Amino acid sequence: MIKKVLYLTRLDPLNYQSWSGTTYFIYKALKKNFSVTTVGPLSNRMRYFFIIKKYFYSLFKIKFDIDRPILVAKDFARQIQSNLNLNYYDFIITSEPYLVTYLETEIPIYIYTDFVFSTYYSNYFFNQKIHYSSLKDGNYCEKIALKKSKKIILTSKYAISDASKYYKINKKNFLRLPFGANIVRIPSLLTFKQKLLRKNFEVCNLISVGVHWERKGMDKACRLVDIINLKGQKAKLYIIGAKPPRNFKISPNVILIDFLKKDSCKDQKFFSDLMYSSHFHVLFSKSEAFGVANVEASAYGLYNIVHDTGGTEGAVTNNLNGFRFPIKKSIYFIANHIIDIFSNKKRYLKNSLKIKNFYEQNLSWNIISLKLKKIIT
């Protein structure tokens, strides 16, 4: 008998853009093995009151989280509770722990996410003051939710270690499971092999996918492509989504591409063609919860060149689908490393196929859906 699952999300689970597509693809992964009912998007009915507070504190450069106050968490629970009271489910799953903090239920709860609240704030807002009540309420709601969950599924060892330590939860309650690629047009192995054999090696094409210029380290990626050219290897860098600061000078080696919509057939094809023509995915994030873009690059057999920071180890395994370099590693060393890989076409093609196979066996949503089923049942 197919088990019934209640999937909770504050966002719209059927919207490709929700949480960069992760909300939608978790829903699709669950649908492969379960009868899924969704509750979401949820309404923050106190939103405007807290937006005023957020704006006020922003004048003093203090961040205030409008979705984490205890009053909001209780209201979210009320919106969900009415569904629970009318229907039966075998289990509940969510990526937003605060949605279950005040739920009154005996149904087993599973949390599947990349970072917990404490890790999120320590990694993403280390240069910014956070309002005391945001930290207090956020950590309180997170701790209650994690402790009442049957299993906490996180995408990296780093996230598990940090969550276990901060909230004093036994590591046995955690499981590690990555996210898959949040793209619809993923090439089959046969199509990939055909495209791989036609890949051009006259110019070394780098691609960087991310919206936040500074946090994603796009300035460093720009320096990298210039250095590769100075060393005698022609190279281009395609940056998708991020826009540079006004005073940042873009070199002729860098091509900026606007944000691509994942629900647009035209944008999907454009993205796919870019990935086929690229050789390396470069993302020097200063902080990173996981890095779905690295998984998406792996689906196209691209080497991932990333910083070894935060949860990147959940998406990039050294010498398998890329390389994680320490943040302080010389950019000249990284440039030489890329040139060395690119210069041997036969070896590159062989390893690109290995990366694609690694993705199919470890990082595809098909594989992840099967692992989710095993965890839950």
Alpha helices by DSSP H, listed for 112-198, are: 117-124, 132-148, 157-167, 189-197
pLDDT at residue 48, rounded to an integer: 79
CA atoms within 13 A on the CB side of 62: 12
pLDDT at residue 262, rounded to an integer: 75
Question: Which CATH number describes the domain made up of 4-177?
Answer: 3.40.50
With contact defined as beta carbons under 8 Å apart, do 367 and 315 qualify?
Answer: no
Its pTM stands at: 0.93
For 72-109, the pLDDT digits (tens) are: 999 999 999 988 888 899 999 999 999 999 999 999 99
- Residues in the chain predicted with pLDDT less than 50, given as ranges, are none
Question: 3-state SS of 339-374?
Answer: HHHHHCHHHHHHHHHHHHHHHHHHHCHHHHHHHHHH
For 23-40, the pLDDT digits (tens) are: 999 999 999 999 999 998
With contact defined as beta carbons under 8 Å apart, do 360 and 367 qualify?
Answer: yes
pLDDT at residue 126, rounded to an integer: 62
pLDDT at residue 168, rounded to an integer: 95
Residue whose tokens read 């965890």? 375
Q: Provide the residue ranges of all domains of the chain, joining segments of one domain with +.
A: 4-177, 189-363
pLDDT at residue 144, rounded to an integer: 97
Domains 4-177 and 189-363 fall in the same CATH topology: yes
For 156-176, the pLDDT digits (tens) are: 999 999 999 999 999 999 999
Rounded to a whole number of angstroms, the CA Rg of the chain reads 21
Alpha helices by DSSP H, listed for the chain, are: 22-31, 47-58, 70-86, 117-124, 132-148, 157-167, 189-197, 218-230, 265-277, 292-299, 331-343, 345-358, 365-376
What is 189-363's CATH topology?
Answer: Rossmann fold (3.40.50)
Residue 280 — φ and ψ, nearest 5°?
A: -135, 145
